[in-house]
A and B are shown apart, each in its own frame.
Chain A
Amino acid sequence: MTKIIDLKIKEKIYKSKKSQLSILNNFNLEVNTGEKIAIVGKSGAGKSSLLNIIGLLDRNYDGEYTLFGSQTDHLLTSELAQWRNQRIGFVLQESALIDSLTIEDNIKLPFLYAGSEKESLRQEAFETVTNAIEIKHILKKKPLECSGGEKARAVFARGIIMNPQIILADEPTASLDVENRERIVNLLFRMNKEFNTTIITVTHDLEIANCHDRVIHLERSK
């Protein structure tokens, strides 16, 4: 198995006018290709911050991060954006859709930043994903016209449409009913099984966390 993530954080500091908060102190994480990892912990422990760092959304921390074998602090912001587009998929809560776009446009949004090559392959991927996730019937609808479960599946579809090597899921089932929660988790694991995609899930739900290969508990800083 290949090491895909090698992250060593000395600390991540959040500063406000009155105080400062240090989290993820001396936190190390190594992840291999195809692993399923759950991150759990109380609010404020740094779960989402960790996901932002892994997902190249935040470089403002003290530490070293090697992703796909490359030191990320040497990468340009345009390269980071390209990796976010093609190698990392984000699966967030169902509200993470642009309300003025149709579900189809929301799902196809990553195509906009992927250049004009392989357009027919992308259309094929779009057909496959929307069929598999069973959202064909809502493609022309706007998010506000869809149910929570439908929106969650649309967010999921957007996260996997570029067939990423890593999926970062931040509380993807937080506001879903049991049926839709299972559906999303099954879809995540199906991606892992079929494409050997690395899955990192931030969740409060221990039942879901325990379905992963590894569970990382984050403690709140004292």
Chain B
Amino acid sequence: MKIFKFFISKIFLRKAILGISMILLLCMANYITFIAARSILSTFQGYQETKCINQEGNYIANLDPDSDIDIDAIGEDGTQVVYDYLNKNFNYAFYTDGFMASIPNINDMEISLSYMNEEYYKLNQFELSQGTDLDFDYQFDKEIPVLLGKGLSKTYPVGSTIKIEESVLDRPLTLKVQGILKQNAYHSNYYAPNSKTYYNFSILVPANEKFIHHANIDLQWNGLMDVTILETTKEKIADLSDVIEDNLGAKFNFFSQKENYDYFNEYYVHSLKIIAVITLALLVIITCLAIWNVLVSVRLMLKDFTINLLVGLSYSKLRKIFYSYFGILSFINLMVIFAFTASNRYGCWLRKDATFVTYGLFSLIGMDWLALLVVAFSDVVIGIIIVENMLREIKKVPISLGVLQ
């Protein structure tokens, strides 16, 4: 420890610019690794979630981007015809979210309401920390059983009721808390699996046929955008497309499992491969720059190292000193990345961004920690490369020459 302190205070810090440039290079390497690792992990999570919907025989709706529609011309009669057709001919998973409501809670968050039908609920198998599963057989003029995110569980424990002026039905409703979702439960976008919203400040409302029937055009229309038709055939889907086009004037595409996988492979796997390759290339470049930086450092500090070797420092001790020094630099960088991530996550709390708020130590969630672990691992690899290069360079110069540098 005494020797290490001596090296830090009397040798390394005397050439602070080299230490600072190493910190900056490592910071770049760590940030790139962190972002790439988290994107890949998030995409993988989204892909896993989508997999339960994206089964053989299922078709996921998507509004054709070329469809020329007049939203204002779409009326409830039209959407209702489509839903009647759906109810009569198909099993379908219905989900829509993003409907905000002001409900008093200790965190003073705007609450997001997410609506789903029984098929969707069954396919997603939401994990609960308290209470029981949703019940879809209810009368909405009485109490509607709902699930809450963890952030609302203190204000509204299981069994309590919430009275709201519900915008979708445009009438006051009484919601009864049936269960609490596990913390950081999320929903990924089907077509952008790395993009997710968190349910911590959401209410999951069961939407049965009657509910959808009485709901306003916003819920009906938004629900159709991502509706998943279950266990059906291409022919029946074609008929459904016609019905939608006839009644709503909008062209909907329904993508099969294979088409969804192809899309995923084409856009996401390919993008992830590019991200991985670019990250790796940048890491190699940064590592090379870091090696160049340490070789310059060695040249500038060679005399200091070799005089120490002359009076009793061994190469094994010098190796330990270098690894410890690099460990400290890596730790500083990890803390920077950690602080950056924590401030981002915490920023969601400050902005009251209900759909992005997360729970965890400093609000960090599993994929953040995993990505930090990947960063730590990459630092270990970079550290080994750099330290061994430093030692090789020092050993290359005879001590007697190094001393007289």
Chain A residues proximal to chain B, CB less than 8 Å:
48, 51-52, 57-58, 77-78, 80-82, 84-86, 90, 92-93, 95-101, 105, 109-110, 112-114, 158, 170
Contact = CB atoms under 8 A, between A and B. Distances in A.
A222 B234 CA distance: 91
B307 interface: yes
Given A100-B11, A109-B307, A112-B2, A48 B314 contact: no
A78 B317 contact: yes
Contacts of A80: 314
Contacts of B3: 112-113
A100 B304 contact: yes
Interface in B300-321: 303-304, 307-317
Interface of B: 2-3, 6, 10-11, 14, 303-304, 307-317, 398-400, 403-404
A78 B14 contact: no
Would you call the interface of chain B mostly helix, strand, loop, or mixed? helix
A78 B403 contact: no
B312 A84 contact: yes
Contacts of A48: 400
B308 A109 contact: yes
A52, A78, A98, A110: which has the most chain B beta carbons within 10 Å? A98
B3, B10, B311, B398: which has the most chain A beta carbons within 10 Å? B311
A77 B399 CA distance: 14
Contacts of A93: 404
Given A82-B312, A112-B3, A112-B312, 20 more contacts: A48-B400, A57-B309, A77-B314, A78-B317, A81-B314, A82-B314, A84-B309, A84-B310, A84-B311, A86-B312, A90-B311, A93-B404, A95-B404, A96-B310, A100-B304, A110-B311, A112-B308, A113-B308, A113-B313, A170-B400
A52 B398 contact: yes
A80, A85, A96: which has the most chain B beta carbons within 10 Å? A96
24 contacts: A52-B398, A52-B399, A57-B399, A58-B399, A78-B316, A78-B317, A80-B314, A81-B314, A81-B317, A84-B309, A84-B312, A86-B312, A90-B311, A92-B403, A97-B307, A98-B303, A99-B303, A100-B11, A110-B312, A112-B308, A113-B3, A113-B311, A113-B313, A158-B311
B64 to A, nearest CB: 67
Contacts of B310: 57, 84, 90, 96
A57 B311 contact: no
B197 to A, nearest CB: 56
A24 B316 CA distance: 29
Contacts of A100: 10-11, 14, 304
Contacts of B313: 81, 113
Contacts of A52: 398-400
Contacts of A90: 310-311
B315 A77 contact: yes
Nearest to A93: B404
B254 to A, nearest CB: 68
A95 B314 CA distance: 22
Contacts of A57: 309-310, 398-400
A7 to B, nearest CB: 17
A98 B307 contact: yes
Given A112-B6, A170-B400, A96 B312 contact: no
B403 A96 contact: yes
B311 A85 contact: yes
B5 to A, nearest CB: 10
A80 B312 CA distance: 8
B404 A113 contact: no
Contacts of A82: 312, 314
Nearest to B13: A100
Contacts of A110: 311-312
A52 B112 CA distance: 76
B378 to A, nearest CB: 30
Nearest to A116: B2
Contacts of B11: 98, 100
A171 B315 CA distance: 26
A21 to B, nearest CB: 14
B312 A85 contact: yes
A81 B309 CA distance: 7
